[in-house]
C-alpha cells in the first residue's frame, strides 16, 4: 500500500511521523512499503462485540475451501486495493442464497479509493484503508474483466459501463474495529469470516517459511502493508496476502498475536449490501448505511454522466463521490453524451451552474430532480457542481454581525427596526469577512473557465474544468449539426457562466470581460436562462450583453424577483432582505454609501428588479440602458417572479424567494419551454427535499416553538 509523502489533512493536526520508506525484495522483483496508518477520525463507527458465540479457532482450511484466488499486486504500492479485493472475493463466495465466484476489480478499488483518502492531488500512489472502504461503500465494485489492473499509477476513466456493473457488488454496513482489542477482532471475524487490516512489516515478511509462520523477535518496522485476515488460532491470525502463491504458505501467512499487538494499525469489518435497481435516478432511497447515519442513495451510474465536479481554483475535483479527471470529462462528452442522445432529432446540451448557497448534496439532488424530465424532452443536462456552500459561512458571519441586537425590542417596532438592523448588519458583515468570502467564491467561479497551468514544454494550458467541458462540447457541435448548446444558471452560477459564455461565443482573442485574453471559439449558444443572477451589472454587460446583442445567443431570459418579493425575503432571519440586497450593499466591490446618494444602493446587481428598472440614480449602472434596449427589443426576456402565468409558459415562475427558483416546478417547466422554443406538455419534476432543506425546516419549526420568529 502506498500513500502520499506529505502531512494529511485531519482535524487532529499532523500525523505522527512514520518510519522511513523502504523497499523489500522477496524473491523476484521488489515490494514497496510506503503505506501509513489511517489517521484518527472520530466520525468512524466503531464495531461493538455482541453476545454471539465466538469459536476458539477458525482454521485456514475453512477459508481455503472457498477457493478465494491469491492475487499478486506486483511491485505497485496498491495493497489496499488488492487486500480489499480479497475481502470482497471472500464475502461474495459466502453470499446467500447463491455464492458468487466472479472476480472483482482491484483497479477500481485503487482508483476510487484515492478520491477519499486524506491527501490532496493525484501525484502519488496508493490510498488509506479508510479511503478504500469509503470508495467501496459509495461506488460498489465492478468485475475484473471490465476494469483489469494494469501496472502504473495513472488514473483511468470511470466509465458508465463500469459504474453500472459496480452496482451489482455494493457494500452494506461497515465499521472500524479496535486493533488493540483481540476480543473485538475475534467477534467481528466471527460475524463475517474476513477482516480488512494493515500493520507495520519487518524483515521477517521477506520470505516466510513454507508453513507461513512469520518469524518475529521485536524487529524494527520498515514500512506498512494491507491484507485480509482469513482465520485465527490460539497463537495468531492467518492472513491472505497479495504477493502471489510463492509467498509463505501458498500466499498465506501467520502473524502472532504478540506481533499484531505491537505492529497492528487498522482493522475494518464489512458486509455486502443487497443490489438494488432504482428505476429513477432521482429516487431518494436508503440503499446503504454509512457510518452512524442513513444515506440518500442516488442511482449514481445514472447521475455520473451529468455531473462535472469543480474544486478549488476552478480545477476539476479529483476526490469525492463524483470526482472528475480529464479522462472522465472526455469520456462523458465523447462517449456518454453521444450514446444517450444517439436517436434524438436535436441534441440539446444544457450546461447548468447552481447558486453559491447550495450545499453539494443539494446540488446533486437537483441534478437527479431535473434529469428524467429533461431527457424526456431531448435535453441533456450537464451540471457543474462547485463546492461553495456559502450559506454556512455566510450564516456564521451574519450571526456574528447581528449578535448585539436586543431580542426583546424586535416585537415592538418590527419594520423600522428590521430595516435599521439590516443597516447595521451590512457594514459589519462586510468588515468581519463577508466581503472576502464572496470574492473568493467569485474567483473560484471565474477560474472554472480562466484558470491556466504551466505546460510541460513551456507556456500555459487551460486548466479550468468548465473550459475543458466547453472545448469538448464545441468540438462535438462542429462535428454534428444537430448539437445545440444551452446555458442556465442560478444566482452565483451566473458568475461561473459569464467567462464560459464569452469563451463559447467570441471569435479569436477575447478582449474585455472575465475571459479577457483567452482564445474564443466563435460558436453559437441556442439559449441562456438566468435565475436571479448574482453577477454585478458591469460583469453582465461585459459578458452577456455582447453575446445577446450579436445574436451569438439565439434566445436569452433573465428572471428576477419583484422588488417587493426581494425585500420580503430574508437570510436566516438575520438579514431581512434577499441575499442579493446583501451582496449589492455589503459584499460587492462598492458597498452602500450614506454620503454619496448615487451609491445609496451599493453595487448594481443584474438579478435585481430595481437595477433593471433603474428609476433612481442610485439604481443606474453604467451602461444600464443597453440592458433596457435588449428587453424592449425582445432580445432579452425579463421574467418577474412570482407571477400567475400558466404552467408551461416560458415566463412562468412561482418563486417567491431568492433560493426558490431552482426547485420551483413552474420555473423548471418554463426553462424547458424556453430551451425548446415552444410550450410542450407540462413536464413532471419530482423535486425532493435534501437533508439541508429538511434541516432548515426543522430549524424554523424550533424557532417558531421557542417564540423567536417574528
pLDDT tens column, 408-431: 433 443 444 445 567 777 887 787
Mean pLDDT across the stretch 25-48? 62
pLDDT at residue 522 greater than cutoff 90 = yes
Is 288 contained in some domain? Answer: no
**For 565-586, how does the pLDDT look when each residue is reduced to its tens digit (9 = 90+)?**
999 998 877 788 999 999 999 8
pLDDT tens figures, 184-220: 999 999 999 999 999 999 989 989 999 999 998 777 8
Mean pLDDT, the chain, whole residue set? 83
Q: CA 243 to CA 232: how far, in whole Å?
A: 20
DSSP letters spanning 603-614? S-BTTBHHHHH-
Could you tell me the CA-to-CA distances from 24 to 30, 219, 221, 230, 266 in Å, in that order? 6, 14, 12, 24, 21
CA 464/CA 451 separation, integer angstroms: 5
The CATH number of the domain holding residue 31 is 3.90.70.10
Residues 370 and 231 in one domain: no
Q: Are residues 310 and 217 in the same domain?
A: no
For residue 193, how far is the Cα from the chain centroid? 34
Q: Tell me how far apart the alpha carbons of residues 67 and 69 are, in angstroms, rounded to a whole number.
A: 6
Above 70 in pLDDT, residue 156?
Answer: yes
What is residue 109's DSSP assignment? Answer: H
In angstroms, rounded to a whole number, what is the distance separating the alpha carbons of residues 227 and 334? Answer: 38
Q: Which of 234, 254, 272 is the last residue of a domain?
A: 272
CA distance 537 to 607: 8
Question: How far, in Å, CA of 417 to CA of 143, rounded?
Answer: 64
Q: Do 267 and 410 share a domain, yes or no?
A: no
pLDDT value for 158: 86
In this structure, are 322 and 235 located in the same domain? no
337 shares a domain with 234: no
- 588 and 511 in one domain? yes
Cβ 501 vs Cβ 528: under 8 Å: yes
Among residues 392, 391, 397, 405, the alpha carbon closest in space to that of 426 is found at 397
Contacts 24+ apart (CB under 8 A), 519-524: 521/470, 521/471, 521/474, 523/474, 523/477, 523/478, 523/485, 523/552, 524/485, 524/552, 524/553, 524/554
Residue 583 · residue 394 · CB < 8 Å:
no
Whether 411 maps to a domain, the answer reads yes
254 and 400 in a single domain? The answer is no
Whether 281 is covered by a domain: the verdict is no
**Is residue 45 domain-shared with residue 119, that is, in the same domain?**
yes
> d(Cα 180, Cα 170) in Å, to the nearest integer?
29
Choice among 84-98, 108-122, 370-384, 511-525 with the minimum mean pLDDT: 108-122
Is residue 282 pLDDT above 80, yes or no? no
Residue 13 belongs to a domain: no
- How many CA atoms are closer than 13 Å to the CA of 613, on its beta-carbon side? 11
- Are 160 and 301 in contact by the 8 Å Cβ rule? The answer is yes
CA-nearest of 103, 187, 189 to 141 is: 103
- Of 231, 253, 272, the residue at which a domain comes to its end is 272
- pLDDT above 70 covers a percentage of the chain that reads 79
d(CA 131, CA 124): 14
Higher local confidence (pLDDT), 95 or 125: 95
Buried b / exposed e along 407-424 (16+ C-beta atoms within 10 A): eeeeeeeeeebbeebbee
Q: Omega of the bond prior to 97 within 30 degrees of 0, cis?
A: yes
Of the listed ranges 39-53, 200-214, 258-272, the least confidently predicted one is 39-53
594 and 551, same structural domain?
yes
Interval 94-123 mean pLDDT: 82
Based on the fold, state whether residues 372 and 238 are members of the same structural domain: no
Distance CA 629, CA 631 (A): 5
Do 265 and 383 fall within a single domain? no
Domain that holds residue 45: 22-272
Q: What is the mean pLDDT of residues 143-151?
A: 92
Phi, psi of 187 (to 5 degrees): -65, -45
The Cα 117–Cα 126 span in angstroms is 9
Question: In degrees rounded to 5, what are phi and psi of residue 284?
Answer: -95, 105
Q: Does residue 578 form part of some domain?
A: yes
Tally of structural domains, the chain:
2
Q: Give pLDDT, residue 115.
A: 83
Q: Is 421 helix (H, G, I), strand (E, B) or coil?
A: helix
Residue closest to 466 by CA, chosen among 499, 514, 512, 508: 499
Q: Are strands 171-176 and 264-272 parallel, antiparallel or unpaired?
A: antiparallel
Query: 360-376 and 691-706 are packed helices; what angle lies between their axes, rounded to 10 degrees?
Result: 120
Q: How confident is the model at residue 394 (pLDDT cuts 50, 70, 90)?
A: low
- Which H or E run includes 657? none
* pLDDT at residue 35, as a whole number: 53
SS3 482: coil
Distance, CA of 50 to CA of 68 (rounded, Å):
28
Mean pLDDT is highest, among 361-375, 425-439, 589-603, for 361-375
Residues 343 and 209 grouped into a single domain? no
Coil, strand or helix: which one is 243?
strand
Alpha-carbon 291 to chain mean position: 18
Strand partners, 258: none
Residue 109 within any structural domain of the chain: yes
pLDDT for 397 beyond 70: no
Other beta carbons less than 10 A from residue 315's beta carbon:
18
Q: What is the pLDDT of residue 116?
A: 81
Quick one: how far is CA 464 from the chain centroid? Answer: 16
In a domain, 285, yes or no: no
The pLDDT score that the predictor gives to residue 496 is 97
pTM over 0.75: no
CA separation for the pair 184, 190 (Å, rounded): 10
Neighbouring-strand partners of residue 224: 200
- CA 38/CA 22 separation, integer angstroms: 19
In a domain? residue 73: yes
> Which of 251, 272, 293 represents a domain boundary (last residue)?
272
pLDDT band at 38 (very low <50, low <70, confident <90, very high): low
Amino acid at each position: 500500500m502506498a500513500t502520499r509523502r506529505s502531512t494529511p489533512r485531519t482535524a487532529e493536526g499532523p500525523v505522527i511521523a512514520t518510519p522511513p520508506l523502504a523497499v523489500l525484495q522477496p524473491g523476484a522483483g521488489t515490494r514497496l512499503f510506503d503505506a501509513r496508518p489511517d489517521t484518527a477520525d472520530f466520525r468512524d463507527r466503531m464495531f461493538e462485540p455482541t453476545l454471539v458465540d465466538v469459536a476458539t479457532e477458525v482454521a485456514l482450511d475453512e477459508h481455503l475451501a472457498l477457493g478465494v484466488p491469491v492475487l499478486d499486486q506486483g511491485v505497485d504500492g496498491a495493497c489496499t486495493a488488492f487486500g480489499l479485493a480479497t475481502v470482497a472475493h471472500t464475502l461474495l463466495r459466502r453470499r446467500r442464497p447463491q455464492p458468487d465466484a466472479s472476480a472483482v476489480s482491484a483497479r477500481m478499488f485503487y482508483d476510487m479509493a484515492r478520491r477519499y483518502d486524506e491527501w490532496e492531488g493525484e501525484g502519488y500512489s496508493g490510498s488509506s484503508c479508510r479511503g478504500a472502504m469509503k470508495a467501496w461503500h459509495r461506488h460498489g465494485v465492478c468485475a475484473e474483466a471490465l476494469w483489469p489492473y494494469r501496472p502504473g499509477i495513472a488514473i483511468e476513466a470511470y466509465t458508465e459501463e463500469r459504474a453500472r456493473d459496480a452496482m451489482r457488488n455494493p457494500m452494506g454496513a461497515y465499521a472500524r474495529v479496535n486493533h488493540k482489542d483481540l476480543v473485538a477482532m475475534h467477534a467481528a471475524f466471527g460475524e463475517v469470516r474476513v477482516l480488512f487490516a494493515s500493520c507495520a512489516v519487518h524483515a521477517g515478511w521477506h520470505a516466510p517459511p513454507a508453513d507461513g509462520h512469520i518469524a518475529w523477535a521485536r524487529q524494527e518496522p520498515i514500512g506498512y502493508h494491507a491484507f485480509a485476515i482469513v482465520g485465527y488460532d490460539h497463537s495468531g491470525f492467518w492472513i491472505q496476502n497479495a504477493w502471489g502463491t510463492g509467498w509463505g504458505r501458498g500466499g498465506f501467512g501467520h502473524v502472532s498475536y504478540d506481533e499484531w499487538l505491537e505492529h497492528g494499525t487498522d482493522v475494518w469489518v464489512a458486509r455486502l449490501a443487497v443490489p438494488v435497481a432504482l428505476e429513477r435516478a432521482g429516487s431518494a432511497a436508503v440503499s446503504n448505511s454509512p457510518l452512524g447515519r442513513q444515506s440518500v442513495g442516488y442511482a449514481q451510474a445514472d447521475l455520473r454522466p451529468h455531473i462535472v465536479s469543480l474544486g478549488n481554483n476552478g480545477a476539476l475535483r479529483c476526490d469525492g463521490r463524483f470526482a472528475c479527471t480529464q479522462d472522465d470529462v472526455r469520456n462523458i462528452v465523447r462517449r456518454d453524451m453521444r450514446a444517450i442522445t444517439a436517436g434524438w432529432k436535436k441534441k440539446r446540451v444544457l450546461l447548468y451552474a447552481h447558486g453559491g448557497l447550495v450545499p453539494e448534496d443539494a446540488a446533486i439532488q437537483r441534478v437527479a430532480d431535473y434529469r428524467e424530465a429533461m431527457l424526456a424532452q431531448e435535453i441533456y443536462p450537464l451540471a457543474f457542481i462547485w463546492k461553495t456552500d456559502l450559506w454556512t459561512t455566510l450564516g456564521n458571519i451574519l450571526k456574528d454581525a447581528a449578535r448585539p441586537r436586543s431580542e426583546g425590542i424586535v416585537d415592538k417596532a418590527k419594520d423600522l427596526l428590521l430595516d435599521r438592523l439590516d443597516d447595521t448588519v451590512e457594514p459589519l458583515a462586510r468588515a468581519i469577512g463577508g466581503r472576502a468570502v464572496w470574492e473568493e467564491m467569485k474567483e473560484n467561479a471565474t477560474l472554472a473557465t480562466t484558470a491556466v497551468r504551466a505546460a510541460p514544454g513551456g507556456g500555459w494550458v487551460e486548466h479550468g474544468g468548465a473550459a475543458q467541458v466547453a472545448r469538448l462540447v464545441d468540438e462535438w457541435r462542429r462535428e454534428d449539426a444537430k448539437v445545440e448548446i444551452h446555458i442556465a444558471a442560478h444566482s452565483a452560477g451566473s458568475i461561473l457562466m459569464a467567462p464560459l459564455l464569452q469563451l463559447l461565443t467570441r471569435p479569436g482573442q477575447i478582449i474585455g470581460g472575465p475571459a479577457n485574453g483567452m482564445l474564443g471559439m466563435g460558436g453559437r449558444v441556442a439559449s441562456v436562462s438566468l435565475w436571479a443572477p448574482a453577477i454585478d451589472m458591469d460583469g453582465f454587460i461585459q459578458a452577456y450583453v455582447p453575446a445577446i446583442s450579436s445574436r451569438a445567443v439565439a434566445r436569452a431570459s433573465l428572471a428576477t424577483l419583484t422588488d417587493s418579493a426581494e425585500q420580503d425575503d430574508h437570510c436566516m432571519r438575520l438579514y431581512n432582505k434577499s441575499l442579493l440586497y446583501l451582496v449589492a450593499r455589503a459584499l460587492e466591490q462598492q458597498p452602500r454609501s450614506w454620503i454619496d446618494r448615487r451609491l445609496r444602493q451599493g453595487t448594481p446587481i443584474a438579478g435585481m428588479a430595481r437595477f433593471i428598472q433603474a428609476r433612481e440614480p442610485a439604481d443606474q449602472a453604467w451602461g444600464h440602458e443597453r440592458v433596457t434596449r435588449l428587453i424592449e427589443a425582445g432580445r432579452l426576456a425579463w421574467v418577474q417572479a412570482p407571477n400567475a402565468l400558466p404552467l408551461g409558459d416560458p415566463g412562468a415562475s412561482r418563486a417567491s424567494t431568492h433560493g426558490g427558483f431552482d426547485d420551483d416546478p413552474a420555473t423548471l417547466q418554463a426553462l424547458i419551454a424556453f430551451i425548446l422554443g415552444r410550450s410542450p406538455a407540462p413536464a413532471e419534476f419530482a423535486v425532493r427535499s435534501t437533508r439541508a432543506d429538511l434541516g432548515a425546516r426543522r430549524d424554523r419549526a424550533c424557532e417558531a416553538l421557542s417564540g423567536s420568529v417574528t
